[in-house]
Structure 1
Amino acid sequence: MPTVTSADGTTIAYERTGDGPPLILVDGAMCHRAAGPMRPLAALLRDAFTVHLYDRRGRGESSDTRPYAVAREVEDLQALIARAGGEAYVYGISSGAALALATAAADPGITGLALYEPPFLADAGSRTEAYTERLHELLDAGRRGDAVALFMTHVGIPEQVIAGIRSQPGWATLEAIAPTLAYDDEILTDAPHLASAITVPALILAGGASPHGLQQAAKATADALPTAEHRTLDGQTHDVAPEALAPVLTEFFSSLAQ
């Protein structure tokens, strides 16, 4: 397992597959290389790109260093870009899209940016504030399972479904990375105002079957980026199918190399 060391000494685990221009994939909340959408997506992209996927800090086989700051996660992604050769395309989903956005504002090495449903919900308001406060209360009390359940409720998963997931063996894996929910929450607060500073080619995607708020958020993000294109993937939800996404990413990033 290759690793790269971030600026604050955090060890970031990653894997690389394929051949072509470097492309880094950035996971959203509660996901890492062994549990999430990126390995299946990488398998569909590796014929066109050298694909890098990694465990964000505090997840999977990466370490963590406290206190957390969004700038530290930006440095993690910058370390991957440096390892890839100093320049790379970047794709991020959900909170990973927010992290990719923050990094693109800080690092000229990102030469193309694709984001799927960055969840900057304009109408979240007091609901988001209440979620943030309760999340920190639960994490500070060591109630990691309840923090995971709170997050799932926050994103719209029905209580009976959460109860079913909670009874499965995999729940312990989710509890292990529960502290990173606070990281994702902070990224979503910190990143949106950076959009206007980004001038690299960008593609902002949403699923046609996703909640209206997420579709609006994707469109608003595209409108805020000076060089962005907005597209909707018909029939897709926030849990976008790799088979629907890969051809779109391949077309977009390949066009930048021409």
Structure 2
Amino acid sequence: MPGGAYDFLQVNFLPWNGARMAFVTSKDGTSIAYQRAGTGPAVILVGGGLDDGSENAVLVPELARRFTVFNYARRGRGDSGDTAPYAVEREIEDIDALISEAGGPARLFGASSFWPGLEALAPTLAYDAACLGDGRPPVARLASITQPTLVATGGIPDPHMGGLQPGFFDAAADAIAAALPQAERRIVEGQTHVADPKVLAGVLDRFFTR
């Protein structure tokens, strides 16, 4: 899904509307930092590459009107801890710990991203590479997902993504949607790869509450 702070606006991972930093302990003992806002069904915001919890911060006040929003820093980033050795399964366990904290079940939103000036996150880029694998959609794993899943891309090219082949994100999204048993494929018209948070929040609201 389009992700990030539009126009590459730096948004620090700081409390919003009086929300305080809190921590949950993952299965391997790693402390995961998160902030919580709003009331209603739980929504967990999962940051993409080069994100310390900041890129989704702009979504929080929009979604918090109808949901309890958990925005967290992935392991090794922001105020979250890190425990070696890394494995993709640890990321899943981190999310599971947050779902338990939310009282479960929860809705998830994940985004890709590109952020300048966040060199501090460079050591954790290997984690994103591990999640990506060989770059092809993990068809067998996707086929095992039984929950309804929205796969969305922006409707217009992003000028910051000029190094990618035309249609890169749409082709990837199409392949992912084809592998998911209950996928809804959507193109968000008028938006680039980094969507306006108000528009994106509206799309998520409709999907989460239908």
TM-score for both structures, normalised by structure 1: 0.66
- Name the structure 1 match of 2:138: 192
Give the whole-Å Cα distance in 2 for the aligned partners of 1:16 and 1:189: 31
Match of 1:17? 37
Return the letter of the residue paired with 2:127. Answer: Y
Structure number with higher helix proportion: 1
Q: Which amino acid aligns with 1:15?
A: Q
Q: State the distance in 1 between where 2:128 and 2:93 align.
A: 15
What corresponds to 1:3 in structure 2? Answer: 23
Identity of aligned residues (%): 51
Q: 1:93 aligns with which of 111, 117, 120?
A: 111
Structure 1 gaps of 5+ residues are: 96-151, 158-164, 166-170
Report SS of the residue matched to 1:23. strand
Q: Structure 2: which 5+ residue stretches go unaligned?
A: 1-20, 158-165
> Which of the residues 229, 238, 256 maps onto 2:193?
238
2: distance between equivalents of 1:182 and 1:236? 29
Preserved contact between residue 10 and residue 65 of structure 1 (Cα < 8 Å)? yes
Pick the structure with greater CA Rg: 1
- Relative contact order (alpha carbons < 8 A, sep ≥ 6): 1 or 2 greater? 2
After superposition, give the CA deviation of every residue in 1:118-174 in whole Å (9 maximum; x if it has no partner).
xxxxxxxxxxxxxxxxxxxxxxxxxxxxxxxxxx7xxxx9xxxxxxx6xxxxx3xx2
CA distance in 1, matches of 2:74, 2:195: 20
Match among 95, 98, 118 for residue 80 of structure 1 = 98
When the two chains are superposed, the root-mean-square deviation of aligned CA atoms in Å is 1.7
Find the counterpart in structure 1 of residue 124 from structure 2.
Answer: 180
Note the 1:20-31 alignment, pairs <5 A.
Answer: 20-31=40-51
Q: For 2:185, give the aligned amino acid.
A: H
Distance 1:2 1:73 in 2: 18
Deviation at 1:235, TM superposition (A): 2.4
Output the CA distance in 2 between the equivalents of 1:254 and 1:86: 16
Give yes or no for contact 2:23–2:31 (8 Å, CA) kept in 1. Answer: yes
Poorly superposed stretches of 4+, deviation over 4 Å? none
Equivalent residue in structure 1 for 2:81, among 63, 79, 83: 63
| Contact 2:52–2:121 (Cα < 8 Å) also in 1 | no
